[in-house]
Amino acid sequence: MTEYQKEIMRFDKIRRIEHWLLFISFTTLAITGLVQKYPNNAVSLGVVTLLGGVQIVRIIHRISAVMFVLEAIFHFAYMGYQLYVQRKKATMIPGVKDVVDAVQATSHNLGLRKDGPKMGRYNFAEKAEYLAVIWGLVMMGLTGLMLWNPIFTTKILPGQFIPAAKVAHGLEAVLAVLAILLWHFYHVHIKRWNWSMVKGTLTREEMEEEHGLELEEIEKSEVAVPISPVVLSKRKKIFYPIAAILTIVLASGLYAFVTFEETAITTIPPLEEQGTIFVPQTPTPLPTKAPTATPGPQTELPAGPLTWETGIGAMFEQRCGSCHGAMGGLSVKSYETLMKGGKSGAVITAGDAANSPALLKLADGKHPGQFEPDELEKIIEWINAGATK
Ligand code: HEC
């Protein structure tokens, strides 16, 4: 084994377990979240079907969210132990050196500098990523809990916060996933496959490149003088109760938040039988002047066949005239203009109501102008009888 291949311990077991917890919860959150953000995507539909429906996807999402937060609580408790009891250095805090390192690393990558910077236990890229996880935890945690408890949230905050939280939650998720795929993947898997979170170690060569300063410290064996057991137990006596109380408070806060509200977002199964869908007669964007009010259905229609002049013209004017008149294209203002038709030609086929474009256009009920059923009957009768003036 050459000197370069020598393995140097980097992450203890606790850190590696933490990383696995983070890996599992983050990945599950990302998958079950993105399929909800992009529900119509083919991949999303496949995943949702595979998992057994959106309701199950939501439950899995929430379980992984709780796992993520519990891991965060543990992380902070352990951090407290290392900082207070063991008096370890806070190696994650960014400083001016990180800015300098970033500039030097960039110029080294561009070939403008021979050597890369010598970096400590956590280099600037790792610190940025760590802070991004903390930021993500806060953002996703807050907006996630708002979406989880929308009724409670609206007791404190205005209602607009719910859709705003939804947008923020979804977009922050996209950002986080992209950051992991681009930044994290590049740094630990593409640049060089980094096993330290699995095996716990890095080779000397990797350490030299990314943590040169730490390597120097390790090799000068600048190991801290062991703390005397008396001091240690004194610190533990202070640390444990505080950590226990804080953990209990946070964990019960989390428990309360995830259980106390029957959320308003239960998925309702679609109706078996769809009723008549309300189609509001909103004008399409084309008309510039407001369409004239359309009076209600005429209850009395004269018996017997009608002509354009004895009533058909009036019906067209009433139901279609507000749009089909002044705007060019089809005009129902006179018998002649109606028979001339619209942009794609004649709209009335005399003698054949079933094939008249004007009626076909209305057939699906979606066109903004519609005839009443009894009016339609008269118009069909009129067209079939030859659509006379
Ligand atoms: C609120 C406005 C509005 C009303 C009311 C309305 N339409 Fe239209 N209609 C449009 C617009 C906009 C278009 C063009 C876009 C399209 O084809 O959907 C159109 C297009 C059409 C066309 C196709 C014209 C062509 O150039 O080929 C027909 C036929 C038609 N309408 C029939 C009717 C009939 C019959 C009525 C009355 C029952 C009616 N419309 C009422 C807005 C309206």
To the nearest 10°, the Cα dihedral for 185, 187, 191, 196?
-90
**CA-to-CA separations, 89 to 82, 172, 227, in angstroms, rounded:** 8, 31, 14
Q: How confident is the model at residue 259 (pLDDT cuts 50, 70, 90)?
A: confident
| Residue 279: how many other CB atoms lie within 10 Å | 12
Q: How confident is the model at residue 61 (pLDDT cuts 50, 70, 90)?
A: very high
Q: d(Cα 336, Cα 56) in Å, to the nearest integer?
A: 62
**What's the gap in Å between 48 CA and the centre of ligand 1?**
40
Among candidate residues 259, 292, 326, the one where a domain is terminated:
259
What is the pLDDT, as a whole number, of residue 200? 85
Residue 186 domain-assigned? Answer: yes
Clarify whether residues 240 and 375 are in a common domain: no
Ligand 1 pocket list (CB less than 6 A): 283-284, 286-287, 291, 319-320, 322-324, 329-330, 342-344, 347, 357-358, 361-362, 367-371
**What's the gap in Å between 243 CA and the centre of ligand 1?**
71
Clarify whether residues 156 and 69 are in a common domain: yes
Clarify whether residues 79 and 170 are in a common domain: yes
With contact defined as beta carbons under 8 Å apart, do 137 and 72 qualify?
yes
Q: From the alpha carbon of 329, which atom of ligand 1 is closest?
A: 26
Q: What is the mean pLDDT of the chain?
A: 86
Q: How many domains does the chain have?
A: 2
Residue 293 domain-assigned? Answer: no
Clarify whether residues 350 and 249 are in a common domain: no
Out of 294, 316, 320, 331, mutate this one to test ligand 1's pocket (max ligand atoms within 8 Å of CB): namely 320
152-161 long-range CB contacts below 8 Å, 24 or more apart?
152/260, 152/261
**What b/e sequence results for 212-246 when a residue is b if at least 16 CB atoms lie within 10 Å of its CB, and e otherwise?**
bbbbeebeeeeeeeeeeeeeeeebeeebeeebeee
Give 327-351 pLDDT, tens digit per residue.
778 999 999 999 999 888 899 999 9
Nearest CA to ligand 1 atom 3: 323
Q: How confident is the model at residue 267 (pLDDT cuts 50, 70, 90)?
A: low
Among candidate residues 227, 259, 291, the one where a domain is terminated:
259
Out of 347, 367, 370, 382, mutate this one to test ligand 1's pocket (max ligand atoms within 8 Å of CB): namely 367
**What's the gap in Å between 358 CA and the centre of ligand 1?**
8
**CA-to-CA separations, 69 to 93, 212, 257, 295, in angstroms, rounded:** 21, 33, 12, 60
Clarify whether residues 222 and 101 are in a common domain: yes
**What b/e sequence results for 59-69 when a residue is b if at least 16 CB atoms lie within 10 Å of its CB, and e otherwise?**
ebbbebbebbb
Q: d(Cα 238, Cα 382) in Å, to the nearest integer?
A: 95
Which sign does the torsion angle of CA 17, 18, 19, 20 carry? positive
CATH of the domain at 230: 1.20.950.20
Nearest CA to ligand 1 atom 23: 342
Clarify whether residues 103 and 233 are in a common domain: yes
**What's the gap in Å between 324 CA and the centre of ligand 1?**
7
Q: How confident is the model at residue 277 (pLDDT cuts 50, 70, 90)?
A: low
Say yes or no to pLDDT of 2 above 70.
Answer: no
Say yes or no to pLDDT of 290 above 60.
Answer: no
Clarify whether residues 242 and 344 are in a common domain: no
Clarify whether residues 252 and 356 are in a common domain: no
Nearest CA to ligand 1 atom 6: 369
Look at 379 and 297; give whichever has higher pLDDT.
379
What is the pLDDT, as a whole number, of residue 263? 65
Among candidate residues 259, 283, 298, the one where a domain is terminated:
259
What is the pLDDT, as a whole number, of residue 117? 87
Nearest CA to ligand 1 atom 7: 369
Say yes or no to pLDDT of 170 above 90.
Answer: yes
Span of 33-42, 106-115, 200-209 with lowest mean pLDDT = 200-209
Give 311-324 pLDDT, tens digit per residue.
899 999 999 888 88
Look up the pTM and report it: 0.59
What is the pLDDT, as a whole number, of residue 299? 54
Say yes or no to pLDDT of 105 above 80.
Answer: yes
Q: d(Cα 290, Cα 271) in Å, to the nearest integer?
A: 36
Q: d(Cα 106, Cα 100) in Å, to the nearest integer?
A: 10
Structural domain harbouring 328: 308-384
Q: From the alpha carbon of 345, which atom of ligand 1 is closest?
A: 27
Which sign does the torsion angle of CA 343, 344, 345, 346 carry? negative
Clarify whether residues 141 and 22 are in a common domain: yes
